[in-house]
Amino acid sequence: MSSSCLIFFVSNSIFLLSLFSLTIHAHRCTENFLSETVSRNLTLCKRYKHRNGVEFGWKVENTTTQTLQVMVGARLDGETGWLAWGLNLGPEPRMVGTQALIGIKQTNGSFLGNTYNVTQYIKIGCNLLPTPIDLNVSNLTFGFLGHIQYHIIEATIYLPQTVDISRINHVWQVGIVAIGMEPKFHEKTLKHYDSTEIIDLQTGTSLSIRSARRHQARVAHGILSIIGWGVILPIGVIIARYFKKGPIHWNEHDQWKHAHKACQACGYIFGATGWAIGLWLGNYSKYYSFPKHGAYGISIFTFATLQTLALRLKPHKNDELHTYWSIYHLSLGYALLIVICVNIFKGIKILQEEETWKPTYIAIISSIAFIFFVFEITNWIKFKVDQLKSKEELSKQIH
Radius of gyration of the CA atoms of the chain, in A: 29
329 is in an annotated binding site: yes
Residue 290 contacts residue 222 (beta carbons within 8 Å): no
Q: Sign (positive/negative) of CA torsion 186, 188, 192, 194?
A: positive
Residues 247, 94: Cα–Cα separation, whole Å: 58
399 is in an annotated binding site: no
Residues in CB range of 155: below 8 A, 6 or more apart: 69, 70, 101, 137, 138, 139, 140, 141
Residues in CB range of 189: below 8 A, 6 or more apart: 350, 352
How many CB atoms are closer than 10 A to CB 15? 12
CA 37 from centre of chain: 32
Half-sphere exposure of 93 (CA within 13 A, CB side): 23
Please state, in angstroms and as integers, the Cα–Cα distance from residue 52 to each residue in 56, 82, 92, 172, 246, following that order.
12, 13, 20, 9, 51
Residues in CB range of 374: below 8 A, 6 or more apart: none
Please state, in angstroms and as integers, the Cα–Cα distance from residue 93 to each residue in 129, 238, 253, 352, following that order.
21, 48, 60, 22
Residues 391, 313: Cα–Cα separation, whole Å: 40
Torsion, Cα 173 177 180 182, to 10 degrees, reads: -40
How many CB atoms are closer than 10 A to CB 388? 10
CA 164 from centre of chain: 33
260 is in an annotated binding site: yes
State how beta strands 168-175 and 196-199 pair.
antiparallel
Annotated binding site for heme b: 221, 260, 293, 329
Annotated binding site: 221, 260, 293, 329
